[in-house]
Every structure is written in C-alpha cells, then in structure tokens.
Amino acid sequence: MYHCFVIIKCEDGYYDIVFMDIQMPRMNGYDATRAIRAMHRNYCRQVPIVAMTANAFAEDVQAAKTVGMNEHIAKPLDLRILARTLKRWLSKE
C-alpha cells in the first residue's frame, strides 16, 4: 500500500517499526513521515521509522532525520546493518 495513513488507522502498537522508502509514487517518504509524526497520537510520534533508500549521501541521511525518521539505511541493503538496526529499535521493550 502506498498510502502512509495506513499506520494512522491501525491500533497503537500494531507496527513495531516502519521501513520508509523515500521515492514513492503518490507521496514521498519525507512527506509521509511528516504526516505520521504530526498526528496527535503518541504511537505515531514514537514508532521507529527507518529510511531505506538508494540516496546515501550525508545530506540524505540528514534530511531523513530532520523530518523525524530515526535511522537511515542505504540500498542495496547490508544485512549486518539491517540486523543492527532491528536490534537497536526492537529491543527497547
């Protein structure tokens, strides 16, 4: 589903983590993250959002963090980095 508002309609805690593509057809990942973070629910403000994109320059990483993403992972994926990221954001129970 390309629409970011699926997370808004779900119950709190439904998603443990969101992997956000930056270049999507209807709404880019920056705008989708801004929309999620702007919702008046703690869950939407706190769920970890990780950029997954081929855009891997320092300014791309900064742009992701500026809009409220927690992490940035460059494509093609390095499974070690993915595993570290999952451990970091999913082990905060």
How does pLDDT run across 31-41, given as a tens digit for each residue? 999 999 999 89
Say whether pTM exceeds 0.75.
yes
What count of Cα atoms within 13 Å lies in the side-chain half-sphere of residue 32? 23
Alpha-carbon gap, residue 93 to 89, rounded angstroms: 9
Full set of structural domains in the chain with CATH: 15-87 (3.40.50.2300)
Q: Above 70 in pLDDT, residue 5? A: no
How does pLDDT run across 13-57, given as a tens digit for each residue? 999 999 999 998 888 999 999 999 999 899 999 999 999 999 999
